[in-house]
Amino acid sequence: MIFIDILGWIMKLCYGIVGNYGIAIILFTLVSKIILLPIAIWVQKNSIKMVKMQPEINRLKTNFFGDKDAIAEEESKIYKKYRYNPLVSLVPLIAQIVLLLGVVEIVKNPSLYIGVENLDYNFLGFDLRWVTSETGGLSILVPIIAGLSSLLLCIGQNIMNVLQAEQSKWNKYGMLVFSVALSVYLGTFVTAAVALYWTASNLLAILQQWILNICINPKKHVDYKALEASRIELKELQNLSKNQKRTKEQIKKEKEDYKRFFSITNKKLVFYSESNGFYKYYKGIIEYILSHTNLTIHYITSDYNDQIFELAKKEKNIKPYYIEEKKLITLMMKMDADVVVMTMPDINQYHIKRSYVRKDIEYIFVPHGADSPNLTYRKGALDYYDSILLTGKYQRLECEAENKLRNLPNRKLIDFGYTLFDDMAKEYKVSQKTNKTKTKTKTIMIAPSWQKDNIIDLCLDKVLKTLKGKNYQVVVRPHPQHVRHAKEMFEQMKEKYTGTNITIQTDFSANDTVFNADLLITDWSSIAFDYAFTTKKPVISIDTPMKIMNPDYKKIDIEPINIWCREIIGEVVKVKDIQNIDKTITKLLKNPTKYKKQITDLEKDSVYNIGKSAKIGGEYIIKCVQSKIKERRKQK
């Protein structure tokens, strides 16, 4: 065989240079690495391509999450764009196997290829003819050395190889264990000469990778910040999907509702709700639209138990649909309606996109907080909305500045107000009239935000320890998203505090807790505004790390209301002073008149259309729908 003859000639040449069989094998291995260097360079460049395009692939998997066919189709387009061939990574493995088979053939009869009759097989105290499975004794070191060299190679590759370094721990350590085990196993049944070749090849591969990284540095070609950001985004979506354990009935309903949604043509108005707790932000607007028009409202919710399904039984012009977030990705891409109303920021930034089917849809954002959108939303979170309903003048100032900063002249800003405040104010007045029974026991509500290092993460146990057994009724009301992602944890907390003055509340559809509370404890949650403006009662803000979703929030040079209003609506308590929070509670509860005036003045200054926001929001949405209908008629 010509290939074997060529390898035999190279081995003979190596032996002729060094005159030692063991060293000749090492030199032969080095020569083979040099001959195969072009392939190694090709593989290095191809691996860099793979990592370079990984952020695009991760975003692709996020955008088309759950749609395997779409992912495969779009992924092939990315491969073509970068001229990447996934099979290239197999080339060095194939070359190594072919070379190994050639070496095995040569060392079976080295004298034939090297041309030396009385060849000295001794090398560093080893007989290169040893086969551990047959000879035993000192030869047991042969497979061990081969395994160690494989271990070093795997560790080196996990650190230096641009592609291997990005693999999951499971892949890294799985391959390590497999490679070491295979080397030890094969090293037991081949001659020591073959094991020497394998060991030398592994060690030289480490050196080769180090040199390649210097000459073709991956850091000059790969945007590792973008890679990490895309990986985190995809991981969050995957974790969310794992946490969504659904029954067969839920899966069946989603499938039926998805089909039913697209079976209806000429949809004029669509609302989307992330969960049951979000209906309250739409309530006033929807009631106004239903009472002043004959429009059909198509209401999509990702909550199987959303109250909208019960409401729809009483209102024929509400058509509800249950679509979980995974399926929602595709639904939103195929959206066909005149107007879409949402409370979800970041549309078109991540996995939830504007429609690919219709480019003229009017997307309207309804706020679910009266706080600073510039601080509490990601950068550009509202850029892809056509209209933004604003709660008050401070949101307008920020959005006007953002429009100018990011050149968004067509984004419409609407002086709306906040229907939740109006609805809660009405409910609160009624509750005060009907609930005239006063008790000496004060109710303290703890309602943290859903962010890293919130009250629950940092100091809830300390707060509850301080208040447990005191003459307060303490109600912990975590953020809906926190409950959604850590449901089991809150169920365990319920059991832990059963029989005490502490209650863990995970149902957010009712406002009774807010109305009955005499004081609120929160961190940076927008519930501080909801509570203070509704009840005119004080708020304790625990000074956890500030909720900064947009690190560039200072670029518009407007101090967020979240920061400067905390001393107006109540007091700020540092995390290190939690043990003294009872003193602050006592202070605030003794001065209700002072805080009522401060809160009332702040509300009048910062909230639009108090008591009339439902009418303003409803009229604007109706106007948008009518405008789209007129545009279609003109086109005909």
Question: In the predicted model, what is the mean pLDDT of residues 280-290?
Answer: 96
Nearest to 332 by CA among 305, 309, 308, 350: 350
How far, CA to CA in Å, does 561 sit from each of 212, 455, 523, 608? 53, 20, 14, 15
Euclidean distance between the first and the last CA atom of the chain, given in angstroms as a whole number:
77
Residue whose pair of structure tokens reads 């074997």 in the numeric block: 4
Question: pLDDT band at residue 438, thresholds of 50, 70 and 90?
Answer: low
CA distance 443 to 513: 9
Least confident of 39-48, 501-510, 592-601: 501-510
Cβ-based neighbours of 354, under 8 Å, separated by 6 or more: 332, 335, 347, 348, 361, 363, 384
Percent of residues, the chain, with pLDDT higher than 70:
95
The backbone torsions φ and ψ at residue 321, rounded to the nearest 5 degrees and listed phi first, read -140, 135
Q: What is the pLDDT of residue 336?
A: 95
**3-class DSSP state of 342:** strand
The tens digit of pLDDT for each residue in 80-135 reads 888 877 776 677 677 777 777 777 788 777 877 887 778 888 998 898 888 888 88
Tell me, what's the pLDDT at 243?
58
Mean pLDDT within 349-367? 92
Q: Compute the residue count for the chain.
A: 636
pLDDT > 90 in the chain, percent:
46
Domains and CATH numbers, the chain: 2-227 (no CATH), 248-418+614-635 (3.40.50), 435-606 (3.40.50.12580)
The tokens of 367 are what? Answer: 């706020």
Give the DSSP per-residue string, 13-46: HHHHHH--HHHHHHHHHHHHHHHTHHHHHHHHHH
Nearest to 395 by CA among 187, 562, 624: 562
431 Cβ contact partners less than 8 Å away, ≥ 6 residues apart = 512, 515, 516
Q: What is the model's pLDDT at position 511?
A: 62
b/e per residue 256-270 (b: at least 16 CB within 10 A): ebbeebeeeeebbbb
Cα 539 to chain centroid distance, Å, stands at 31
Of the candidate ranges 269-273, 514-518, 625-629, the one whose mean pLDDT is the lowest: 514-518
Return the percent helix, strand and coil in the chain, to nearest 5. Answer: 60, 10, 30
In tens, the pLDDT along 150-183 reads 999 889 888 888 877 777 777 788 888 888 998 8
Residue written as token pair 């909801």: 530
Residue for token pair 């209700």: 592
For the residues 207-224, what does the mean pLDDT come to?
89
pLDDT band at 555 (very low <50, low <70, confident <90, very high): very high
Q: Is the pLDDT of residue 602 over 90?
A: yes
Predicted confidence (pLDDT) per residue in 24-64, tens digit: 989 988 988 898 888 888 888 888 888 888 888 887 777 66
Measured CA to CA, the distance from residue 535 to residue 538 in angstroms comes to 9
Q: Mean pLDDT, the chain, as a whole number?
A: 88
pLDDT at 98: 79
What is the per-residue pLDDT for 88?
A: 67
The amino acid at residue 151 is: L
pLDDT above 90 (res 362):
yes
In terms of Cβ atoms closer than 10 Å to its own Cβ (0-12, 13-18, 19+), residue 334 is middle
pLDDT of residue 114: 82
**Mean pLDDT calculated for residue range 597-617:** 96
Report pTM: 0.64
| Higher-pLDDT residue of 485, 455 | 455
